[in-house]
Amino acid sequence: MWQDEQFGSLRIGFQTNRLLFKHQSPYQLIEVFETVDYGTILRLDGTWQCSTELEHTYHEMIVHPALTTAPSIENVLIVGGGDGGTAREVLRYPEVRNVDLVEIDSDVVKACKEHLSSIGEGAWDDPRLNLIIGDGIQFVRDAHQKYDVIIVDGSDPIGPSVGLFNSAFFESCARALKSDGVLVTQAESPRVMLDNHIGLIQTIRQHFENVAPYYQGQIIYPGGVWSWIYASQSVDRKNILRDPDPDLMIYNTEIHHAAFAIPNYVQHIINRH
């Protein structure tokens, strides 16, 4: 049995053995499948999110460029990330003392804990993790403390994630960060979602001095390449302050520097704005 995500004229399919879970939450349709070759996979509103065999590329890349370069990483905020993978990677660092994870859909957390437990691993039981079920946009807007790092691990700009892509949200993030803090957000496919990708770079540039997109191959997502944006008022993303864990599957210092190389077709558009 094949299960697909369709994005325009592009389809991304996985051969599956069985459907493990299906539930319509107040926010989205949650589906979990057992695949033939890629472990257990999560689909939200028809779009692939993560699989137990392929998730490291995404979760390592959204976390470690920020956590290896931010001057302080004691207090971290994750917006989204209900599968637990981003929290798992953040909590690798002994310097981290508190992680606030704000996920709007408790049903996603429950489904991932039950069916994709290897992604969150021990993060859910780590006393440094504070899980908050609520609206991440409002949480950031109302934040009464300053964070060292903010990681925006939302899905595509549809449904509950729409507000994670607008100027008001990143203005709130800038206020909620320390002056030497670092923001990272997922930034869509630079191939099949190019307008969204460029638009997000431009939006974040309105609120941060240093803004740099970075890239890595992703089997599970449309276009085969995914992007993130690194932003700070003062931190140089080239200055690695902490050695990455040698047990990581993907990320290392060479990957870090290579990931920030911008393809010509993207650079040409950025230079025009």
Active site residues: 153
- 136-140 contacts, C-beta under 8 A, 24 or more apart: 136/79, 136/80, 136/102, 136/103, 136/104, 136/164, 137/79, 137/163, 137/164, 137/169, 137/172, 139/79, 139/100, 139/102, 140/77, 140/79, 140/169, 140/172, 140/173, 140/176
d(CA 210, CA 234): 7
What are the E-state strand segments in 69-128? 75-80, 98-103
d(CA 57, CA 33): 20
> What angle in degrees, to the nearest 10, is found between the helix axes of 264-271 and 194-205?
50
Q: How many CB atoms lie within 10 A of CB 259?
A: 20
Contact 115, 40 (CB under 8 A): yes
